[in-house]
């Protein structure tokens, strides 16, 4: 059974760094072709893909967030991570991680993140 | 980047009716392996986002047969036959042919 669960700080201030963790089970990020992605959704709005990391440590990023994103993984502990630097109120959203094996086949419940001074 | 357009922000239908949701891509989503890298997702309040269709027309495990994905090239459709009460939700298309992966803006199915 594949499950993913996101965790994060809940609230942070503008200019801080957002650190998110995706803890998963039921699959391994060392399996050929496997990936984990991060997607976010502001309240009442659509989905925005942020980044992907693959079994071979290849990484893809959404260029709209320029150089603010860093994705990484800890295969031994079944975790993936996303850091977003220099956050502002526009980064307020629910953040999801999802397994990618051709497509995003399993999603976490999401974690709400609020950026506020 | 590839843009996906879901023209309809909302569709109002009655339970039992058939509905089609369209997704248009700014370029072909056909890869050299012969597959289209277009998938469909359902979002319902309080539930995890659910993958319905991948490769444009393949239903994921456990998805009812009333959900039908079709299309090719740049034009794709998610059809739902005999809409059930639990189908009133928001539907998104996604392309994973090229990074950055992009979602359509979503179509909300509402009860008429």
Length of chain A: 117
pLDDT of the residue at B25: 98
Residue in B51, B55, B103 nearest the CB of A47: B103
In Å, what is the CA distance from A96 to each residue of A6, A23, A78? 7, 11, 16
Residue-wise pLDDT tens digits, A51-97: 999 999 999 999 999 799 999 999 999 999 999 999 999 999 999 99
Listing DSSP states for chain B in one string gives: ---EE---SEEEE-TT--EEEEEEESS--B-TTS-B-EEEEEE-TTS--EEEEETTTEEPTT--TTEEEEEETTEEEEEESS--GGG-SEEEEEE-SSSSPEE---EEEEE-
Residue-wise pLDDT tens digits, A30-57: 999 999 999 999 999 999 999 999 999 9
Question: Which residue's structure tokens are 């991060």?
Answer: A38
Alpha helices in A29-78 (DSSP H): none
Q: Count the Cβ atoms, other than its own, within 10 Å of residue A79.
A: 17
Residue in A46, A98, A107 nearest the CB of B106: A46
CB-CB under 8 Å, A46 with B96: no
A55, A32 Cβ separation under 8 angstroms: yes
Average pLDDT over every residue of A12-19: 98
pLDDT of the residue at A66: 74
Query: Does A101 lie at the interface with B, CB-CB under 8 angstroms?
Result: no
**Which residues of chain A lie closer than 8 angstroms to B102, CB-CB?**
49
Q: Count the Cβ atoms, other than its own, within 10 Å of residue A33.
A: 10
Q: Nearest 5 degrees, angle CA A13-CA A14-CA A20? A: 70
Residue-wise pLDDT tens digits, B96-107: 999 999 999 999
Average pLDDT over every residue of B47-64: 97
A59-61/A48-54 β-pairing: antiparallel
């Amino acid at each position: 059974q594949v499950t993913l669960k996101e965790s994060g700080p809940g609230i942070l201030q503008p200019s801080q760094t957002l650190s998110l963790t995706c803890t998963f089970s039921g699959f391994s990020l060392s399996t050929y072709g496997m990936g984990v992605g991060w997607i976010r959704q502001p309240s009442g709005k659509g989905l925005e893909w942020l980044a992907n990391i693959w079994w071979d440590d290849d990484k893809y990023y959404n260029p709209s967030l320029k150089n603010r994103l860093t994705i990484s993984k800890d295969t031994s502990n079944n975790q993936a991570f996303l850091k977003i630097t220099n956050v502002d109120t526009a980064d307020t959203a629910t953040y999801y991680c999802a397994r990618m094996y051709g497509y995003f086949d399993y999603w976490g419940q999401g974690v709400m993140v609020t950026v506020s001074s | 980047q590839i843009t996906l357009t879901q023209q309809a922000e909302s569709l109002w239908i009655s339970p039992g009716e058939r509905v089609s949701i369209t997704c248009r891509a700014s370029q072909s989503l056909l890869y050299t392996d012969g597959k289209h890298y277009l998938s469909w997702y359902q979002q319902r309040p309080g539930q995890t986002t659910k993958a319905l269709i991948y490769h444009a027309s393949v239903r994921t495990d456990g998805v009812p047969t009333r959900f039908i994905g079709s299309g090719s090239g740049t034009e794709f459709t998610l059809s739902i036959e005999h809409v059930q009460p639990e189908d009133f939700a928001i539907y998104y298309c996604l392309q994973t042919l090229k990074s950055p992966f992009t979602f359509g803006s979503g179509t909300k199915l509402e009860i008429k």
